[in-house]
Amino acid sequence: MDLEFELRDDFIPLCDLLKYCGVTETGGMAKHLIAEGLVLVDGEVELRKTCKIRSGQVVSGDGFEIHVN
């Protein structure tokens, strides 16, 4: 799943991005996925659930890649 996400503010918390893009069904599931070390931000494992994702970053994991604009 290759997605584009258009930011409306300066940033979006990582767990919210995963939920909004349909990677997970709930915010709780997104937090669990992050805590397990299964989410990468710009190619590096990210363990902070509310990491600020800004324009130009790429969030990826097993079966998904989200380009934030």
- Whole-number pLDDT of residue 68: 98
Cut 0.85: pTM above it: yes
* Domain assignments of the chain as residue spans, ordered by start: 2-68
C-beta of residue 46 within 8 angstroms of C-beta of residue 39? yes
Q: Would you state the structure tokens that stand for residue 42, as one six-digit string?
A: 């710009």
The per-residue DSSP string of 4-55 comes to: EE--SSS-EEHHHHHHHTTSSSSHHHHHHHHHTT-EEETTEE---TT-EE-T
Q: What CATH class does 2-68 carry? A: alpha beta
Per-residue pLDDT of 32-45, as tens digits, reads 999 999 999 999 99
What's the whole-number average pLDDT of the chain?
Answer: 97
Per-residue pLDDT of 5-14, as tens digits, reads 999 999 999 9
Rounded-to-integer distance, Cα 5 and Cα 39, Å: 16
- Whole-number pLDDT of residue 26: 94
